[in-house]
Amino acid sequence: MRKTEPIKLFYSGYDGSNNYRIPSLLTTIEGTVLAVADKRNQHSSDYGDIDTIIRRKEKGEQEFSEGTVILNLADSHVGDNTSAFNIDPCLLQDKQTKRIFLLVDMFPESTGLFGRMELGSGYTKVDGKDYQLLYDEEGNSYTIREEGKVYSEIGEDTGFCVKTVQSENGIQTPYKELGELYKGDVYYGNVYLMTGEQKGKLHIRCTNYLWLLYSDDDGKTWSAPRDITHMVKKDWMKFLGVGPGVGLQLKNGNLVFPVYHTNEDFGVSQCTAVLISEDHGETWKLGESPIVLMGDDPAVKKSGGQLTESQVIQIANGELKLFMRNTFENKVYVATSSNGGETWDRCEPIDIPEYYCQLSVFNYQKDEKEYVLLLNPSKDGRMDGKIYKGEISHDGTILWKAEKIMAEGHFQYSCITQNAEGNFEALYELDDENGIIALWHTEFTEDFISDER
């Protein structure tokens, strides 16, 4: 086998959804391949009724299981932008605990990045603790405390209670009840919704949040999401979002997810960074952006080139390599860190075309040598996905030695993994015969990419 015939793993009409986007592909310690995607029920845009769906292929099996929706938030169903939603999945496994993490962006009812979003984390500190903010129609603020209890600005228990990520009793996958507001047994809408019959009497701040789920049974079932926004999102940020694709565990045990963030001027201030956990996912911190090497301060950036969605690897010498979508030029930019993504040593373009699209990277060792694969569109307009193979030297430099067209046509986001048999698998976006984005899966061997550059 050099490359299998691609199959559509997620496609228009599958499980009743109009569209699918944003692949995340991970091989677990048990040898199971997990494929996660956005189930974009109404349309292909980055807002609307969007769920998170997973399909699994256990070791030794040839086909993936049917899809399971693991997140499905409240929606008003009165238009194409009246749902709370999750987008941009990113998988990671802690090899020490075997826990699998899934990081996603969460938005309350809105058009997401295309509409009005507010600054900040949507949290405030009370007596040293972080609590999520709520607001009423007059602009008065409240906080969601322990067990979902809602307190007024002066610290009085209002009698309201929110079904939150901290109060899981009675909430089952796909956690559609999250955000429901009650006073006693009386329902007062959902705090994630701003319109319609289910509009919450109180609502959260209209900004984006980062939700973290986990699985302890090889991806079969998933926890309720935990909001980690208050740990990592700064007051000056309008957006802090996922890579997306996959994260990784470093040699020292730290967990790392690729992210990017903006200040109030979203269109000119995108800056790549990574989230870091030093305690197996309990707490998280935000590393510095490599944009500072370009002379920019992310908090006040108003112009110039941007570093946006990215994927990260750790090479044999311990360095992190962050491969980035960007607006500097039509080349992939790579940032290098010698301290696990806390800061960056250098940031520079490489000789691989980049047409403002997420890319995927995967590194591996064979015959005492280290290699990296990179997959992204090779032509303007996000056309013709091409995979590149590079050899990594001991000092961290990469010599790109081979390349091959993976798929012709309108090619966008992708993700690569290596399965238990040592072959590679890719999940990528490519328009189908009807011109609709589908997520295609293929398996290939290293010799598929054998042509010299």
Catalytic residue IDs: 46, 309
Contact between 78 and 196 under an 8 Å Cβ cutoff? The reply is: yes
- CA 296 – CA 203 distance, rounded (Å): 35
3-state secondary structure of 390: strand
Contact between 217 and 192 under an 8 Å Cβ cutoff? The reply is: no
User: DSSP label at 64?
Assistant: P
Dmax of the chain from CA atoms? Answer: 70
Contact between 227 and 241 under an 8 Å Cβ cutoff? The reply is: no
- CA 437 – CA 235 distance, rounded (Å): 36
- CA 426 – CA 4 distance, rounded (Å): 11
Helix/strand/coil percent split, the chain, to 5: 5, 50, 45
- CA 204 – CA 414 distance, rounded (Å): 33
Contact between 82 and 75 under an 8 Å Cβ cutoff? The reply is: yes
**Of 226, 344, 335, nearest in space to 284 by CA:** 226
Hunting for tokens 């079904």 — which residue is that? Answer: 163
Residue 190 forms beta bridges with which residues? Answer: 180, 199
- CA 201 – CA 222 distance, rounded (Å): 30
Q: Which two tokens stand for residue 123?
A: 């949290």
Contact between 143 and 151 under an 8 Å Cβ cutoff? The reply is: yes
